[in-house]
Structure 1
Amino acid sequence: MTQPAGQWDDLTTRLASAAVLGAVGLGLVWLGGIWFHIFVALACGIMIWELARMLGGGPEATWLALAAGAALFVAGEIPGGFALPLLVAPALFGLGRLEKNRTIYALYTVMIMLAGYGLMILRDDFGFIWLLWLVCIVMVADVMGYFAGRFIGGPKFWPKVSPKKTWSGTVAGWIGAA
């Protein structure tokens, strides 16, 4: 099967960014503690910023992201029993700041916050190896999805959110994760 010439144009950029981000991420996972908490809070804040912008948040997206990142960081530094209100607060904050798609924003924000907090707990309580194992599973799923999607192609999975993602790549990613 012959592949179109431009189909692999982004591979070099993807590999270079993966190498840089992988080295930084691996270093922060290895360091753990406050450095890893800052990294996770920043990453989750960026995710919430992107979510709010996709849902039409406009300038509110920045404030929502900053509030979420700060709340997640503080939640990671206090005893676990007190963390839940901080993890839910950015979702509630967004309900009052967004004009539309509030429920979607609130649900996804809670999921992002809980996932970020879970990563902090996983690293703090179970150590470097368990988090590295999780990162490797995600990497395998991503790589398998990318190459299967490029080689097999097929119908798009969710064109409005990820225009190039195909069903074949999605299923291959699931198989890789399993």
Structure 2
Amino acid sequence: MTLGKDFLPRLGSALVLAPVALFAAYAGGWLFTGFLGLAALLVLWEWVVMTAARPKRPVLAFAGLSLAAAAGLTQWQGVAAGLAALGLGAAPLALVAERRVWALAGLAYAGAAVVPAVALRQDPAAGGVALFWLFAVVWGTDIAAYFCGRLIGGPKLWPRVSPNKTWSGAIGGTVVGTAAGLLAVSAFGVPATPALLAVGVLASIASQGGDLYESAMKRHFGCKDSSALIPGHGGLMDRLDGFVAAALVALVIGVLRNPQSPASGLLGL
């Protein structure tokens, strides 16, 4: 098996960022909200630069204020308030942006980087476990897809969008990511039910879909990486693409199963 030349920088970055993310998720509250809010603002900046949004400063200002409000209101009042802040922020953004569709899409994408995870973490009983489950699924999927793709190889998953991804990596990532999620919740005494297994499969597939979406974005705009913030990974969009999609799917499932407590609904508690 031949590892990519970016493997060691990727490993080093992961060893630094993963503990920080886990600690923030464990702490919860405004620390976690601030951590994700800052990440979402950086994602927004990368999106604006990648899509060449104009005028740059007004777009960043209106979208950034909307994101900050969405993060704070989600923590304070819940997911509906956070989504309302994004909706209200979309109106002035649409007025000032020259490329309205891409600007609004950037606000929605950056919002998905913060609102779902903060909404899940709000549950005092299950929020922390739900976030650890989410991290386990996304990271397990990403790591297994990387190694299975290089060890097994085989047919490409979608060569037009991401020429390095294979079906073996996608399947291996789904299996390992789902299993990692079940092991994570089992460590907290949450039963690994068939329903949670199915949710894990959906979240793992969503994570890989988020990765493919971001690859398509970069290909469309002729970018290798969303930025150069993280050695070996590129930018935060490159690091959070799977997490954004998986968190959004997790929140939708959690709200459908238990609107008052999405984290409990997600885990079937």
Please state whether the residue corresponding to 1:166 is helix, strand or coil: strand
2:144 paired residue number: 144
Residues 13-63 of structure 1 deviation map (CA, whole Å, 9 limit, x = unaligned)? 111110100111111111110000001111122222222222221634643
Shift of 1:154: 5.0
* Matched residue type, 2:148: A
2:75, 2:122 within 8 Å by CA — same for their partners in 1? no
Residues 125-164 of structure 1 deviation map (CA, whole Å, 9 limit, x = unaligned)? 123112101110001111122223334165474767xx56
1:48, 1:64 within 8 Å by CA — same for their partners in 2? no
1:48, 1:68 within 8 Å by CA — same for their partners in 2? no
Task: Answer yes or no: is 1:97 the counterpart of 2:93.
Answer: no
Task: Answer yes or no: is 1:82 the counterpart of 2:81.
Answer: yes
Q: TM-score, normalised by structure 2?
A: 0.54
| Separation in structure 2 between the aligned mates of residue 69 and residue 56 of structure 1, nearest angstrom | 19
1:87, 1:114 within 8 Å by CA — same for their partners in 2? no
Aligned counterpart for 1:122 among listed residues 120, 123, 130: 120
Judge which range, 24-33 or 114-123, deviates more.
114-123
| Separation in structure 1 between the aligned mates of residue 128 and residue 155 of structure 2, nearest angstrom | 38
Q: Which has the higher contact order (CA 8 A, sep 6+)?
A: 2
2:246 paired residue number: none
* Matched residue type, 2:72: V
2:44, 2:64 within 8 Å by CA — same for their partners in 1? no
Task: Answer yes or no: is 1:35 the counterpart of 2:34.
Answer: no
Q: TM-score, normalised by structure 1?
A: 0.77
| Separation in structure 2 between the aligned mates of residue 130 and residue 158 of structure 1, nearest angstrom | 33
Aligned counterpart for 2:48 among listed residues 42, 45, 52: 52
From the superposition, tell whether residues 121 and 54 of structure 1 become closer, same or farther in structure 2 (CA, over 3 Å): same
1:91, 1:109 within 8 Å by CA — same for their partners in 2? yes
2:53, 2:102 within 8 Å by CA — same for their partners in 1? no
2:6 paired residue number: 10
1:173 paired residue number: 173
| Separation in structure 1 between the aligned mates of residue 14 and residue 166 of structure 2, nearest angstrom | 23
1:103-114 equivalences under 5 Å are 103-107=101-105, 109-114=107-112
Please state whether the residue corresponding to 1:9 is helix, strand or coil: coil
Residues 48-85 of structure 1 deviation map (CA, whole Å, 9 limit, x = unaligned)? 22222222216346435532441233223432353332
Bigger fraction of residues in helix: 1
1:95, 1:106 within 8 Å by CA — same for their partners in 2? yes
Gaps of 5+ in 1: none
| Separation in structure 2 between the aligned mates of residue 11 and residue 82 of structure 1, nearest angstrom | 40
From the superposition, tell whether residues 87 and 65 of structure 1 become closer, same or farther in structure 2 (CA, over 3 Å): closer
Q: CA RMSD in A?
A: 2.9
From the superposition, tell whether residues 40 and 153 of structure 1 become closer, same or farther in structure 2 (CA, over 3 Å): farther
From the superposition, tell whether residues 104 and 62 of structure 1 become closer, same or farther in structure 2 (CA, over 3 Å): closer
| Separation in structure 1 between the aligned mates of residue 157 and residue 91 of structure 2, nearest angstrom | 33
